Structure 1
Amino acid sequence: MDKIIILDFGSQYTQLIARRIRELNVFCEIYPFHHLPTISPEIKGVILSGSPCSVRDNNAPDIDLQAIRKKVPVLGICYGAQLLAQKFGGNVEPSATREYGRANLTEFEADNPLFHHISPHSQVWMSHGDTITQIPSDFVTIARTESIPVAAFQVQNEATFGLQFHPEVTHSLEGKQILQNFVLEICGCQPTWTATSFIQSSVEALKKELGNDKVVLGLSGGVDSSVAALLLHKAIGKNLYCVFVDNGLLRKNEFESVLHSYQDLGLNVKGVDAKVEFYQALAGLTDPEAKRKAIGKIFIDVFEREAGQIKDVKWLAQGTIYPDVIESVSVSGPSVTIKSHHNVGGLPEKMNLKVVEPLKMLFKDEVRNIGKELGLPINILHRHPFPGPGLAIRILGEITAEKVKLLQEVDAIFIEGLKKAELYDQVWQAGAILLPVQSVGVMGDERTYERVVALRAVTSTDGMTADWARLPYEFLAQISNQIINQVKGVNRVVLDISSKPPATIEWE
């Protein structure tokens, strides 16, 4: 299968480049800049990402560009373009003013394959503190803006290009066309990376890898673990043993409804009611990290106990996805960060199991596409992201069964309200938070002193950044009224209007 390699120099947009290429039905992988793979026949091109660094820094990220030039087409984006220019005799200087924001291509070579089908004065997005002031003698400028003399270049008689702007962001209005020109036309990739082809190749690979072995998988009710289960079920059938644990921190009636959905799909799934164990472990804990660790420990205990009842199980399956395993690059060097709540930490070693992760090369939107192709029910497929520790990190302070029940009622009113108002699919994630404060209120002729809940709804594409959702005032008024009237113990509802950054989506 044809693929594109992206060398990551630490840009915040690197994953976005990969997503744009995969939207063209072409597979691509991200590698740290210092882990350039051997250029094999299936690698059709290399993209050099942007970076928070300057190529003029003494310790700036660097690679041996001769290892890839003339072997496959190369596209440098921002820092990548500046690195190409500087390494081969050009000049990169600090910009007179930081160039950030929209710009327009005042001139470009329309007959250059990189700019086929691009409109005159096409809008692009700049984000850089340095400027290429002089290109090497064998480079040619192929695009300019009003303030930037070298907005794009090509090496003469060579499929090596540089862009000073970011084609991967939506503000570059025809950036996807530029990437398409590079990937399909210049690199000659065949667009065969589709949901159907992924399912076929994955099922074949899983059959070969797992054979007749037994596999255990912890289901969460979310998209990732559910799609992983369906893929594995398609490959090995009843040899997949699923465990769905009710930790007492799920949404209202979620355990029963999701378990029913799993059984309707033909999955070999066992539901385990472990609420009491989780509540006992959480008693008296108020620190968010302490709560997370307690939940993780009990989950491992419960899961190990249930998995131990399966004779001769050899594999642990996990719903790990690509953003969890990409080796991210920081200015000070590479670091691998695995989100602990996405994976059953410690279980493989503790239970002496091998690990299988059928989704580890997929982004979240790709997982949903696979799930749709496999027939995953809408209530799971389009479910908002939900934190691994569940409502425990939406209850600020100590967790009790009474607080969980109260928050479940509030959350159910909010989520069902979003669905009825046809707002649910416009929101990336929504939920309610129980605050550790009480407020004065008046109900009828009585003074009350009851709990406060906050509503949180955000829009996002990947959860890395998020903005608060502008929900209609009429809708918010209706939901607030319903919560206060229907949930005993709540007399005040507030709205969280913080964006990420500086805030996070969850409160803990």
Structure 2
Amino acid sequence: MILVLDFGGQYNQLIARRVRECNVYCEVHPNTLSIGKIKEMNPKGIIFTGGPNSVYKPESATISTEIFELGVPVLGICYGSQLIAHLLGGKVDTAPVSEYGKTEVAIKSSSSKLFDGVSSKTICWMSHTDYISKAPEGFEITADTPVCPVAGMEDEKRKIYAVQFHPEVLHSVEGSKMLSNFVYKVCECAGDWRMDSFVATTIKQLKEKIGSGKALCALSGGVDSSVAAVLLSKAIGKQLTCVFVDHGLLRKDEGDQVEAVFGPDGPYDLNFIRVNAQERFYEKLKGVTEPEAKRKIIGEEFIRVFEEEAKKIGAVDFLVQGTIYPDVIESGLGKSAVIKSHHNVGGLPDYVDFKEIVEPLRLLFKDEVRKAGRELEIPEYLVNRQPFPGPGLGIRIIGEVTAEKVKIVQDADAIYREEIAKAGVDKNLGQYFAALTNMRSVGVMGDFRTYDYAIALRAVMTSDFMTAESAQIPWEVLHKVTNRIVNEVKGVNRVMYDCTSKPPATIEFE
């Protein structure tokens, strides 16, 4: 495995994903990890991430020079490269000219394993105000730019490598090749971490861990909880009970689709309980218009319903959660701000009688969870399900939530998704949906005056959901969607398209 040590860089998860794309297992840990723990983990290579600070300031993140005496190859990226230089006797200064964005880098070494097969001039992503003004003794300068004298350096004897740019970012045209060279040619990794072996190993481990015990899973029908449930089902069969709470805020027919896959007529060996709690949620939401209040009511009520069902089952040994690796990294490194008050199923451990939590996906990124789902032959529409907020349509309906409004947005959203898929424009979209505004306006249908709601359509392109650009959906598709919605969805006489990016807007409406 490759160990990524985080010095506060924004691309720490991206580095791990790029390494895993080479079929090499990788973990991200804070730079404060002890040398003893690193020895215990026995990594084949170590990568230092970027970071926001200047290495020469006393308060900046650092690490013991013992790490260079372990005999394990090290690759420093951006701040990580400057830290190597600083710790080993080189010099780091404020650069006369900062470099940001796509930059042409000249490769000066023809024998470097890191740059094997890389073009002599290659485009890389730079993001720095400091630079290495003098490489440490024993290091060869392997790359430069017109304003950065040490864009790459290495001490091949000690297997210490450093690059000022970010090879993990897609804008670095041959960055993936460099990282592949590091893990294969420098670290000599086997490249045998694959999804089929992950699935088989995980099922075996779950069997051993749970034995004859009972497990309980809150199933939402989203990809994370679905994959977690199927892994448990393969491992322990009927010892698993899945509780699916239909809060009446799912997309059209979604509750029935989840039941078709996981219910008694589905292919999986497990106990499935569907709780149709729609009216209960609508009653709780009556008269509530403030977005955060709606989120909290839905989250709290979900826990209440789940708790009631769990009590009927009695004590269980294990509670199954669909935690994935970005959640682990963010909570473990303590560098992420809380964006939402309700995400997935928060707070369940306080309300359910269980001995231990099982998180079979805690080492996987979202795209890897989808790969695991395909390995397990879960239906494609579940594996590729778009991100869907925990409060569901409750935050895609502006203002008060009612059964009538839910039906309007479900029908409009179903038409929109159907036409987007039919036109084949869904492939590049990160997320797309219909929302119901709280605006009513005058319209005319036939010879009659109407006073009905306006639907807002949203579609964005994004790689990380932290930022997003509004997608340019072909006009003929939007035109067809609009015609169908105003003709087929009762209570709607106007359709609008949201052109706002994130920021300043969010992807969801509330």
Q: Which amino acid aligns with 2:6?
A: D
- Match of residue 310 from structure 1: 313
- Match of residue 123 from structure 1: 123
8 Å Cα contact 1:325/1:338 also seen in 2: no
SS at match of 2:436: strand
- Match of residue 144 from structure 2: 144
1:11-410 aligned within 5 A: 11-36=9-34, 37-40=37-40, 42-155=42-155, 157-263=157-263, 264-266=266-268, 267-327=270-330, 334=335, 341-353=342-354, 354-410=356-412
345-354 or 129-138: bigger deviation:
345-354
| Count of residues in Structure 1 that have an aligned counterpart in Structure 2 | 504
d(CA) in 1 for partners of 2:479, 2:417: 15
469-478 or 419-428: bigger deviation:
419-428
Q: CA deviation at 1:57?
A: 3.5
Distance 1:209 1:359, change over 3 A: same
- Match of residue 490 from structure 2: 488
8 Å Cα contact 2:213/2:317 also seen in 1: yes
354-363 or 343-352: bigger deviation:
343-352
RMSD of equivalent CA atoms: 1.9
Instruction: Provide structure 1 residue ranges, at least 5 long, that are not aligned to the other structure.
Output: none
Distance 1:492 1:68, change over 3 A: farther
35-44 or 263-272: bigger deviation:
35-44
Q: CA deviation at 1:327?
A: 3.6
SS at match of 1:392: helix
1:444-455 aligned within 5 A: 444-455=446-457
8 Å Cα contact 2:468/2:507 also seen in 1: yes
d(CA) in 1 for partners of 2:4, 2:322: 24
d(CA) in 1 for partners of 2:287, 2:182: 58
SS at match of 1:38: helix
d(CA) in 2 for partners of 1:369, 1:339: 27
Distance 1:68 1:434, change over 3 A: farther
Q: Which amino acid aligns with 2:150?
A: V
8 Å Cα contact 1:70/1:158 also seen in 2: no
d(CA) in 2 for partners of 1:343, 1:387: 8
d(CA) in 1 for partners of 2:349, 2:402: 31
138-147 or 373-382: bigger deviation:
138-147
d(CA) in 1 for partners of 2:170, 2:156: 30
d(CA) in 2 for partners of 1:214, 1:458: 41
Q: CA deviation at 1:480?
A: 1.2
* Percent of residue pairs bearing the same amino acid type: 50
8 Å Cα contact 1:76/1:163 also seen in 2: yes
TM-score, normalised with respect to structure 1: 0.95
Q: CA deviation at 1:356?
A: 0.6
Q: CA deviation at 1:70?
A: 4.2
Query: Which of these residues, 417, 439, 442, is aligned with residue 440 of structure 1?
Result: 442
49-58 or 196-205: bigger deviation:
49-58
Distance 1:258 1:156, change over 3 A: closer
267-276 or 101-110: bigger deviation:
101-110
75-84 or 429-438: bigger deviation:
429-438
d(CA) in 1 for partners of 2:454, 2:502: 23
CA displacement, residues 38-73 of structure 1 (integer Å, 9 cap, x when unaligned) = 223641111110112222434211221323444311
Q: CA deviation at 1:385?
A: 1.0
Q: CA deviation at 1:230?
A: 0.6
Q: Which amino acid aligns with 2:78?
A: C
d(CA) in 1 for partners of 2:60, 2:42: 30
CA displacement, residues 53-102 of structure 1 (integer Å, 9 cap, x when unaligned) = 22243421122132344431111100100111122222222223331111
8 Å Cα contact 1:318/1:343 also seen in 2: no
8 Å Cα contact 1:21/1:183 also seen in 2: yes
8 Å Cα contact 1:241/1:269 also seen in 2: yes
467-476 or 215-224: bigger deviation:
467-476
8 Å Cα contact 2:31/2:61 also seen in 1: yes
d(CA) in 2 for partners of 1:346, 1:286: 24
8 Å Cα contact 1:9/1:329 also seen in 2: no
Q: CA deviation at 1:502?
A: 3.3
d(CA) in 2 for partners of 1:498, 1:197: 43
Instruction: Provide structure 2 residue ranges, at least 5 long, that are not aligned to the other structure.
Output: none
